[in-house]
Structure 1
Amino acid sequence: MMQSTTTFRVCLVIGLSLATVSNAAAKVERPNIIVFYTDDHGYADMSCQGVIDDISTPNVDALARTGVLARHGYSTAPQCVPSRAGLLVGKFQSKFGVESNGHSLAGFDRELTIAERLQKAGYITAQFGKWHLGPGSQIVEHGFKHVFNQNSGGPFVANINLDGSDRELSTQRQQMYHIDACSQAAASLIERYRDHPFFLYVAYRAPHVPLDAPQQYLDRFPGEMPERRRQALAMLSAVDDGVGLITRTLAQHRLRENTLIFYIGDNGAPLKIHKLDAPGGGPGWDGSLNDPLNGEKGMLSEGGMHVPFVACWPGTIPAGLVFEHPVSALDVAATSAELAMLESKPEDFDGVNLIPYFTGARKEAPHEFLAWRWSAQSAIREGDWKLLRGGDREYLYNLKSDLEEQHNLADEHPEIADRLREKLSHWASKLDPPGLANGDMSKAATDYFDFYLDGKPASPAPKKFLPNSDSAESKSEMQNLASPWTIRGGKMTVTREGLRLEPHRPDAPQAPFITRNGLNLAGPVSVRMVVKTTASGALGVSWRTSMDESFVEGNRVNFAAEKSDQWQTIETRIPIELKVIHVRIHLPPGTTSVKSVELIPTTGPAITLIK
């Protein structure tokens, strides 16, 4: 009896010890991490922000309701490329040379991304949607095991299918609307890897132009409004559906309490000052809004980089928290690294682990200050005070009382301006190159500062952003815009939707093409078109470089255009590093309508045909 009792006690102690170990292991289990990253998404455009009532984002609202809404969340730049580099590396991007779009990506290529760090630690890593940090075929070299690089209706690079199964990394054709496809592929990977820790980077190209929402999403927003606003709302509604699909998939596998989710915008919305409802879905206002913030994409004012920012981790982050301290997209990598128990050095990350601040374990602000430099602009926020510089101009705002940046207090509080400038200068001395500016103010930036910060009258809207109109004057201006492009073998008609291109005769032996000469585009050149066609067939882009006297047979890329009465976005690239001086766009049989064409060089301004 004594021996039996002793044996029982020993077993009980061992059992309790094992249970304690098991519970401790459960508590330190590394969470899954999902980063939703939207594109040119203005601060106002989440319904949980409570700014505007035409937006509907119930699934993102649910993340905020069960987690934290960061009222003062910031991107690292007011532009796509640098903000993505900063997010993924976790260091301010000007430390490794990615100051703005068009700058060399060599510094980014040398850095370790958070995906690389997590992959080495045993995480399954995957990228979906927009990359914008080099060729899609090279995404796997930056730590992503799986790639689903669809961000338009054209061909894209992927090594998984919509059902999450493997395929060879290669070009894949569109099967679904790009936002829906990214959501479906991400949900499929969760199904596949539900028993492994995973890191998913879901970078929707929305509501960035070209605006291309299908009718099913446009129908959710009836009534009178600018068509570009309707498109933005529809694209963001598709994003919200994707958030819902992915969170439901997590819930089905009881993964919600072991998954940290971030939802962040890459920069503010481009308004082009006038917010014109220009026809076509290409460059111009993307339909999103930054209210009540001042400024827009391309500015270090609040409207340029104060963005939507939500985090959710049920059971860890208290539900319904509204966090008032400034936080940064740089914090994503630092938070992920610490939660994954990665070894890191202080210089590896410029952000901080946000979880202790969101849970209340730490009461102070996560950052002593946040600072930015983008081209000729720089800024610093310390507490409620913000110093903003643009060229020789300087502004001081108290964001607690003036979040809209309407009252420059630099003359009233010179001592605060001096202190912040000194701190900003010290921070900027560590950038590459050092200094408060890296270039001169562009004309666009000058116009923006004049209008938003100095209250000067707006400059006239560029012709390419002309509003939708049936007037003879508007059609004449549209025709003038199209005139640099010439059609061969067919006729070109300006319509309300854009350009209608068709052969002279239905039985013509060759399809027409449009052409433009006198270009000076640094290759490789990205090509993006929004079209619809009455007949399926090959759309082609051929080119002539500064070394070619005539068009060379091998200098052509073809891609499929499907017969459809719906707009489809097609993207490709001219894969050559020489100067491209002459381009032809070859059309499929039948009638082709063109809403927009963009030729985007590696450096320098893009060439656009927008209708």
Structure 2
Amino acid sequence: MPSPNILLIVSDDHGYADRSALGIHSDVRTPALDRLAAGGVSCTDAYVTAPICSPSRAAIISGRYQQRWGGQWFDSARFPPDDVPTMAEVLRDQGYRTGYFGKVHYGKESVGDRACPPRHRFETTFYGLAGQSMGRLNYLHHSDRAVEEYGAEAAHYMAVQPMLSGDEPVEHEGFLSPELGRRATEFIQADDDRPYICMLAFNAVHNFCWQLPDEELAKRDLPAYRDWKPDLGRPYTEWYDDVIVPNLPHGRDYYLAQLELMDAEIGKLLDLLDETGQADNTLVVYTTDNGGSTCNFADNTPLRGTKYTVWDGGIRVPMLWRWPGQLPAGRESGVLASTLDLMPTLVGVAGGEYAGDGLDLLRALRGETDAAHSALHWDLGFEWAVRAGDWKLSWFDGEDPHTIEQREYEHAPMGDGWFLAELSTDIGEQHNRLADKPEIADQLKTLHANWRTEVGLDQPGPA
């Protein structure tokens, strides 16, 4: 069998409940994601390695826990070291052509750093360095003129710097989601006989979702909302509090519009695969970089918590796999899965092997085995968690400055102290079983302590 093409789609802050096929919210419209789920396998118990974007993305691109090179929170997040191969490097060696389109955010990378896609063997690229602009990309403006009009401070916060192709700046004024879709389409259609991996990293549905084209606002009867600039007469931090839950008027509507428009671009790519006869030989994978950001109007029902937290709402994510003829259609898999598994699974379908921290999930996705991870770990220093089977133990330092900042600045419902949940009966982590199952908590504490030693975290955890 020839090596399949690979289309890997990674969105930003997508809420666990926000797919129309789930039937949770009648105002959510994601027909393309529903089409992927109907034609493939949905992982119900899939996790990222961090509840924030940059360390999580480092694990996605490498298949290894980012804690191995010290990545825990924004201030320590960085791209994998030079001796850790990336997805593009491994697949290039297997004869793939490689394309990257969208958001880049592993830390505070600069043009020319190895974190930039062309510097770790993505051949065709169009991307923005979100680490230079508060972790976001503007949905509408990327040009020198925009930088001048916004001014240096606002240009930083509103993320209007030019995009990049290779190491060269590329200006783009207009809605970014269709441009990312267009660039991915051109790459897929290129006259090249090699199989490809196309990694499409949407900035949707990250915050500031009011940044929509005028015609889309009019279609939805939504008012325009101004980006922050100094002439508003308020400091950015004060203004920011008014654009997150519960203060932004129409906040959920803006978020759902961005989600619907991203989904439309995914739908166009699925149509393209059908029309060009590539669908049966293309593995399409969809996931997101961390749990939904409830402060940005995402919803994670039935999970507790949000981005920034190790409650499941911060770390359990949608994960959809479609490969017609190779994976069953309309199947749900409850195996314990991780975005660590993307790298070994994609390398595996390409005919190779990759020894990282993830697993090749292909047989589990097919339903041929239930074997997957025996445990998964999360560790940000001031909060951590471990899941083994149906049991999950979490710990939060409620007085840590990071905890206080996220609680006050992002309105995130952070935890405090120990919490033991049996997820098979309590998916929402509402009932703390610590008192009646202390032996399980002790086992999980030991398991996590051993893992910390394995990945090289030298600071002591909580007693």
TM-score band, normalised by the shorter chain? 0.7 to 0.9
Aligned residue for 2:118? Answer: 140
For 1:557-568, list aligned pairs within 5 A. Answer: none
C-alpha distance in structure 1 between counterparts of 2:48 and 2:418, whole Å: 21
The alpha-carbon distance between structure 1 residues 375 and 70, as it changes in their structure 2 partners (threshold 3 A), is: same
Aligned residue for 1:238? Answer: 261
Alignment of 1:199 with 2:190, yes or no, is no
The alpha-carbon distance between structure 1 residues 379 and 306, as it changes in their structure 2 partners (threshold 3 A), is: same
Aligned residue for 1:428? Answer: 452
Alignment of 1:381 with 2:405, yes or no, is no
C-alpha distance in structure 2 between counterparts of 1:425 and 1:78, whole Å: 20
CA deviation string 1:230-261 (max 9, x = no partner): 11101111110111111111112211111111
1:125 is aligned, of 91, 95, 98, to 98
**Structure 1 residue 222 displacement after superposition:** 5.6
Aligned residue for 2:290? Answer: 267
**Structure 1 residue 70 displacement after superposition:** 1.2
Aligned residue for 2:67? Answer: 94
Q: What RMSD over aligned residues (CA atoms) do the two structures have, in Å?
A: 2.2
The alpha-carbon distance between structure 1 residues 181 and 109, as it changes in their structure 2 partners (threshold 3 A), is: farther
SS of aligned partner of 2:9: strand
C-alpha distance in structure 1 between counterparts of 2:83 and 2:163, whole Å: 22
Matched to 1:238, the amino acid is L
C-alpha distance in structure 2 between counterparts of 1:32 and 1:175, whole Å: 31
1:154 is aligned, of 138, 142, 150, to 142
**Structure 1 residue 417 displacement after superposition:** 0.9
C-alpha distance in structure 2 between counterparts of 1:357 and 1:74, whole Å: 16
C-alpha distance in structure 2 between counterparts of 1:216 and 1:322, whole Å: 38
1:394 is aligned, of 389, 413, 418, to 418
Aligned residue for 1:444? Answer: none
C-alpha distance in structure 1 between counterparts of 2:14 and 2:305, whole Å: 13
Say which structure is richer in helix. Answer: 2
**Structure 1 residue 144 displacement after superposition:** 0.9
The alpha-carbon distance between structure 1 residues 175 and 75, as it changes in their structure 2 partners (threshold 3 A), is: same
Deviates more, 1:108-117 or 1:253-262: 108-117
For 1:112-511, list aligned pairs within 5 A. Answer: 112-133=85-106, 134-137=109-112, 138-150=116-128, 151-152=137-138, 153-155=141-143, 156-159=162-165, 169-193=167-191, 195-211=193-209, 212-218=211-217, 221=220, 226-271=249-294, 285-344=295-354, 348-362=355-369, 364-391=370-397, 393-434=417-458, 437=461
CA deviation string 1:569-599 (max 9, x = no partner): xxxxxxxxxxxxxxxxxxxxxxxxxxxxxxx
Matched to 1:381, the amino acid is R
Matched to 1:187, the amino acid is T
C-alpha distance in structure 2 between counterparts of 1:144 and 1:232, whole Å: 30
Say how many residue pairs are matched.
Answer: 386
SS of aligned partner of 1:180: helix
Matched to 1:214, the amino acid is P
The alpha-carbon distance between structure 1 residues 380 and 249, as it changes in their structure 2 partners (threshold 3 A), is: same
2:13 is aligned, of 40, 47, 72, to 40
The alpha-carbon distance between structure 1 residues 318 and 136, as it changes in their structure 2 partners (threshold 3 A), is: farther
Percent identity reads: 32
Equivalent pair of 1:97/1:103 in contact (CA under 8 Å): yes
SS of aligned partner of 1:200: strand
The alpha-carbon distance between structure 1 residues 417 and 101, as it changes in their structure 2 partners (threshold 3 A), is: same
**Structure 1 residue 105 displacement after superposition:** 2.5
The alpha-carbon distance between structure 1 residues 82 and 176, as it changes in their structure 2 partners (threshold 3 A), is: same
Rg larger in structure:
1
Aligned residue for 1:81? Answer: 54
C-alpha distance in structure 1 between counterparts of 2:28 and 2:424, whole Å: 26
**Structure 1 residue 367 displacement after superposition:** 1.2
C-alpha distance in structure 1 between counterparts of 2:459 and 2:39, whole Å: 42
Equivalent pair of 2:449/2:461 in contact (CA under 8 Å): no
SS of aligned partner of 1:402: coil
The alpha-carbon distance between structure 1 residues 193 and 378, as it changes in their structure 2 partners (threshold 3 A), is: farther
For 1:485-564, list aligned pairs within 5 A. Answer: none
Equivalent pair of 1:85/1:108 in contact (CA under 8 Å): no
CA deviation string 1:550-576 (max 9, x = no partner): xxxxxxxxxxxxxxxxxxxxxxxxxxx
CA deviation string 1:305-338 (max 9, x = no partner): 1111111111111000011222111110010111
Larger relative contact order (C-alpha < 8 A, sep ≥ 6)?
Answer: 2
C-alpha distance in structure 1 between counterparts of 2:7 and 2:459, whole Å: 35
The alpha-carbon distance between structure 1 residues 289 and 222, as it changes in their structure 2 partners (threshold 3 A), is: farther
SS of aligned partner of 1:260: strand
Matched to 1:141, the amino acid is R
Q: Which runs of 4+ in 1 moved over 4 A?
A: 218-226, 435-438
C-alpha distance in structure 1 between counterparts of 2:258 and 2:327, whole Å: 29
**Structure 1 residue 223 displacement after superposition:** 8.8
TM, length-normalised to structure 1: 0.60
C-alpha distance in structure 1 between counterparts of 2:13 and 2:252, whole Å: 13
Equivalent pair of 1:97/1:108 in contact (CA under 8 Å): no
**Structure 1 residue 55 displacement after superposition:** 0.7
Equivalent pair of 1:125/1:200 in contact (CA under 8 Å): yes
**Structure 1 residue 135 displacement after superposition:** 2.7
C-alpha distance in structure 1 between counterparts of 2:257 and 2:181, whole Å: 15
TM, length-normalised to structure 2: 0.79
The alpha-carbon distance between structure 1 residues 50 and 393, as it changes in their structure 2 partners (threshold 3 A), is: same
CA deviation string 1:249-274 (max 9, x = no partner): 11122111111111111112233xxx
